[in-house]
């Protein structure tokens, strides 16, 4: 998994956007204005944070050495993934999907309507 592959996948999601709200290197992916994934463009090795259900956070951290509680995030709701080859792309894409869907599902009806009308 490369940063560019991850970026392309995130942006393939409906209504997904990217920006650099914190500094010049922290790339954030959002849906409805809410973050579903973030990474640092200059960090080596490359890693990223994404949202997960609390019970899944625990399971992922127990099962995969490349997945830890979210760095500088709420460790109950976020994980950090180091795509070091021990986790395959299918798993990573599934985690991105889950994070995106959690955020999309948290949007209220009015926010979802704004998305559909390209107002967010």
Residue pLDDT, tens place only, 67-87: 999 988 889 999 999 999 899
Domains of the chain: 3-111 (3.90.1150.30)
Tokens of 56: 């899944």
The per-type count for the chain, helices as H runs and strands as E runs, is: 4, 6
Mean pLDDT along residues 28-49: 95
With 70 as the cut, is the pLDDT of residue 102 above it? yes
Q: pTM for this one?
A: 0.92
Q: Is residue 118 pLDDT above 80, yes or no? A: no
In the predicted model, what is the mean pLDDT of residues 33-51?
95
Residue 120's pLDDT is 59
| 13's tokens | 């999601």
Quick one: average pLDDT of 27-46?
95
């Amino acid at each position: 998994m490369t940063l560019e592959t991850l970026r392309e996948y995130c942006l393939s999601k409906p209504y997904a956007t990217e920006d650099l709200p914190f500094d010049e290197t922290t790339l954030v992916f959002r849906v409805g204005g809410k973050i579903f994934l973030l990474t640092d463009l200059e960090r080596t090795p490359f890693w990223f944070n994404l949202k997960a259900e609390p019970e899944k956070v625990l399971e992922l951290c127990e099962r995969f050495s490349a997945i830890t509680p979210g760095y500088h995030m709420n460790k109950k709701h976020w994980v950090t993934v180091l795509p070091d080859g021990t986790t395959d792309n299918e798993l990573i894409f599934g985690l991105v999907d889950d994070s995106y869907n959690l955020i999309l599902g948290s949007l209220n009806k009015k926010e979802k309507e704004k998305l559909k009308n390209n107002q967010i």
